[in-house]
Amino acid sequence: MRRVVGLVIVAAVATVAGVLVARPTASTPALKAESVAVSIVEPTSTTVRPDVGATGATAAPLTGPFQVASVIGTRITVAKSPGGELLSELTNPLYTLPLVFLVKSAGAGDWLEVRLPTRPNGSSGFVRMADVKVATVTTQVLVEQRLRRLTVWDGGRLVFETPVAVGKPSTPTPTGTYYVQGTAPMSNPSGAYGPFILALSSHSDVHKTFAGGDGLVGMHGTNQPGLIGQAVSNGCIRMPNAAATQVARLVAAGSPVVVVP
C-alpha cells in the first residue's frame, strides 16, 4: 500500500512542532542564557583531536567525505530495492525543510541506497539517481552521551567541541547513525530552542507524537543553560546558545550525526 509521508515542523523560523523540547513551567522558570557560564572548546580547523581511541573517548568519527542527495521535485518515491516494491513516498519539502538524504551506498544501476528521515530509526531505501542531485559534504557530528560531549569534524579534523545535555532515562536520545535534515533559525533566540535548531533524521522511540507533530529529535540551544551536562531532555541534544550558533554555521544539511551511548 502506498504510504505518503509528510510530517510537519510548523513555521521553522517561529515554532518547531514535534521537536522534543520541554517548555518552562512556573516551577521550572526559564533561565537567561548569560546566567550560567559554560566553557566551549573551539580548536582550530587544523587541530587533530589527540584522545580519539584513547582515554576518555567513546567513539571515533566516520571516514568521509559523504554524499548527500537533494530531492529535485516536490515528492519522491522510495523503493525497497533497486527497481523493486514501493516503500514510501516523501514530500519535498519535509518538515518545511528541503528534503535531503545521506547516501548509504551506490546501490545498483541508476539507483542510490539512502538513509531515510522516517520511522523506524535507521531506515533506508532506494531512490532513482534522476530524482536527486548529489553533492559531497565533509562535515559530521559526533555525540558522546556518557561524556555529555558534542564534537564537529571536518575532513577528519576536529573543528568544534561543546558540552551538551541529552535525553533522560525515560526519554533517551536514540543512538545510531543519522544525519542533519536542515537548520532552522528561531524567531525568538532566547526561547526554549535557542537561536537555531538542527533537525535530525532520528525520532524518539518513546514520543510517537510531540507538540502536534512527530517526535523528531533535534540539536538546539536552550534557555536553561544550567542543565547542560545532564541527562534531562525529552530526547533532543541541547547545547549552549553560542554553541548552537557555531554548529549551525559549521554543519551542512545531510552531514552525518553519530550518537553513541
Question: Which residues are catalytic, by number?
Answer: 220, 236
Among 108, 102, 106, 118, smallest CA distance to 69 is for 102
Q: What SS3 state is found at 33?
A: helix
Q: Based on the number of CB atoms within 10 Å of its own CB, is 202 exposed (0-12), middle (13-18) or buried (19 or more)?
A: buried
**CB count in 10 Å sphere of residue 199:** 26
Q: What are phi and psi of 189, to 5 degrees?
A: -65, -10
Place of cell 522511540: 205
Side by side, which strands form the sheet with 124-128? Answer: 4-5, 86-91, 75-79, 124-128, 111-115, 100-105, 66-71, 132-137
Distance in angstroms (rounded) separating the CA atoms of residues 136 and 148:
29
- Residues 90 and 209: their CA atoms lie apart, in Å, by 19
Collapsing DSSP states into helix, strand and coil, what is residue 127? strand
Which residues in 164-187 are b (16+ Cβ under 10 Å) and which e? bbbbeeebbbbeebbbbbbbbebe
Beta bridge partners of 70: 100, 133
Determine the residue type at 74.
T
Q: How far apart are CA 146 and CA 231, in angstroms?
A: 9
